[in-house]
Structure 1
Amino acid sequence: MPLLALTGGIASGKSTISAMLAAHGAVVVDADAIVRDVQAAGSPVLRSIAEEFGAEVLRPDGSLDRPALGARVFGHPERLAALNALVHPAVRAESARRFAAAFAEDPAAVVVYDVPLLAEARSGDAWDLVVVVHAPAEVRTRRLVEGRGMTEDEARSRIASQASDEERLALADVVIDTDGTMDATRRQVDELWARVGPA
């Protein structure tokens, strides 16, 4: 019943690795999905966000206006810290609930926590294995420009706003290098599964 943390910088290929592990049979718990859930319209977290940042961060239907909130926190470390103080405890509690539910359903499950901000928010947690998906910053910049339509400056800014590669790699028990072919990436995932999957 291993609990793995899967992390990687933007455009590293983390979602691809997550999908490959799910195809092997892992139970994937998605941190981004939990964030959306705990910030749903009418939630205590969303009420706290509106109190902290103003009603302008809410859409007319009561849901979170992510671009409006992003404009208030991006590039403002103290505002981002205030947001994280509201969101992270709820995410931590809900992720723990989902891990427990997965293991209750199948004690032999391999549970993978797909978490972009591991280095920033969850590095001290008790993971059985930390898996870092890695590609050089230049490769990720190119993927953001070609795949998501960002300018090069936008891509570099997004990468710079996250933990550094060095910070993430320092946490790694396993590194999956996505700078090669898809077959090479798949082989690394297969090797990881052979190590952690059910006997």
Structure 2
Amino acid sequence: MLRLGLTGGIGAGKSEVSRLLTGYGAVLIDSDRIARDVVAPGTPGLAAVVAEFGPEVLTGSGALDRPKLGGVVFGDQDRLRALNAIVHPLVRARSAELEAAAGPESIVVHDVPLLVENGMSALYDLVVVVDASPETQLDRLVRLRGMTASQARERMAAQATREERRSAADLLIDNDGPLADLEPQVQEVWRELTARAAARSRAGRAAEE
């Protein structure tokens, strides 16, 4: 198994890279999706969040009110740490279950938005960073996601810098241009990943002989 950590700043295009890699045969483990699943209604995760933050972080239907919770933790490091202490262990446990089910020959892509911010590079065999300039990120967030420029800049400022992400990369994908320029780069990354996975498999078999 080859374990890949995929990350990138908000608006850099990481989700499109995930989609392409999955199409080539990668097993995707999406930490954002798992983070939503572990606090779905009826889960122990949601019960723990309510115990910590109060029932006011629920919607009328009993689901987690993400904007309201975000308003509580955004800008308050103590409250953010309290939330992370609940959610992160649940995400790690579920990710481990999914990875174990993938099979020993798989290329497993962990889509982790805050990989650099949380110092997680050492958890993976390789780190792939999807890179875009701050100007491109801002344009996409405003034009495609409907954020105001101020909202977009706040989100970007809360993440690692471009330089910090680039310094963590074993492989870098430049997504500063049009979508047509992205797929050839992802294909090249996939060739690199399959070559490394095959070499690792051969080394493992040799060690067993």
Indicate whether the TM-score tops 0.5.
Answer: yes
Instruction: Tell me how far 1:128 sits from its aligned partner.
Output: 1.1
8 Å contact kept, 1:123–1:171: no
Q: Distance in 2 between matches of 1:6 and 1:85?
A: 22
CA contact (8 A) 1:29 1:112 kept: yes
Contact 2:9 2:156 in 1 (8 A): yes
Q: Quick one: structure 1 residues 36 and 151, their matched pair in 2 at CA, closer, same or farther if it must change by over 3 Å?
A: same
1:99 matches 2:96:
no
The Cα shift of 1:108 comes to: 1.6
Q: CA deviation at 1:170?
A: 1.9
Identical residues among aligned pairs (%): 52
User: Which string of whole-angstrom CA distances, capped at 9 and with x for unpartnered residues, describes residues 115-168 of structure 1?
Assistant: 111112351543111000010111100111111111111111110011222222
Calculate the TM-score normalised by the size of structure 2. 0.89
Structure 2 match to 1:144: 141
Total equivalences in the alignment: 196
Say whether the 8 Å CA contact 2:121–2:127 is kept in structure 1.
no
Q: RMSD in angstroms over aligned alpha carbons?
A: 1.4
Q: Which has the larger radius of gyration?
A: 2
Gaps of 5+ in 2: 199-209
Alpha-carbon distance between aligned partners in 2 of 1:5 and 1:166, rounded to the nearest angstrom: 17
DSSP-derived class of the 1:71 partner: helix
For normalisation by structure 1, the TM-score amounts to 0.93
Please tell me whether residue 68 in structure 1 is matched to residue 74 in structure 2. Answer: no
Match of 1:181 among 178, 181, 186: 178
Find the counterpart in structure 1 of residue 162 from structure 2: 165
- CA–CA separation in structure 2 for the residues paired with 1:59 and 1:114: 28
> Quick one: which amino acid aligns to residue 75 of structure 1?
G
User: How many Å separate the matches in 1 of 2:95 and 2:126?
Assistant: 16
In the alignment, residue 73 of structure 1 is paired with which amino acid? Answer: V
Structure 2: distance between partners of 1:61 and 1:139: 38
Runs of 4+ in 1 over 3 A off after TM superposition: none
